[in-house]
Amino acid sequence: MQIGQYLKIKMWDPKVLFRSIRKSADLWFGAGTSPTQLELNGVPCTSVKTVKKTIGHPGCIESDFTWTSAENTTAQNKDLGSIVPAFARVLDVKLVTEETHTGAVSLAVTAGNASAGSEFVATGASYTLNDVRACLHAIALNVAPAAAASKVWIGGTPGANWSLMTAGRLAVYVTYIETV
């Protein structure tokens, strides 16, 4: 065997197994499950997952969503969809400005589980590159899991007309515990 070659074993399903003699239970993870998924006696347990969505300036083609161009400074609410699975608990919502919002003078943002809500992130500036808005953990952990997939809403209000915004992109990271 030369250095740099790989050994391939067909029909091999690698797993790491933790065996409890006292509890007569096995805890394992490996190729049969996702990298973050654990199973207890073959029953999937919880996973922590993060979903990233982006909102760009009006006309942006490199984002999942865009702000609507308008000759006003009226607040807009963007529905990111039902990205939190049923029975999952949201741990964190983080807003990061990936590109400065040029032309809008300022941009105030919120994040919630309802339109115009601020259950996750209170109103604050997210205008220049690398601005970070953090989750209000004391409040967010009080948002109860729902029996159906739930939505995350991002609200934005510019300091000048939306139509003047010529650049800018906001990244939204939603981290939750998924119960399988």
pLDDT digits over 68-114, tens only?
Answer: 999 999 999 999 999 999 999 999 999 999 999 999 899 999 999 99
Least confident of 30-39, 60-69, 91-100: 30-39
Write down the pTM of the prediction: 0.77
pLDDT of 67 above 70 = yes
In the chain, the amino acid numbered 102 is T
Domains in the chain (CATH in brackets) are 1-45 (no CATH), 47-178 (2.60.120.530)
Q: In what order do the strands lie in the sheet with 153-158?
A: 76-79, 153-158, 107-112, 121-125
In this predicted structure, what is the pLDDT of residue 47?
80
Q: How far apart are CA 56 and CA 119, in angstroms?
A: 22
In this predicted structure, what is the pLDDT of residue 22?
65
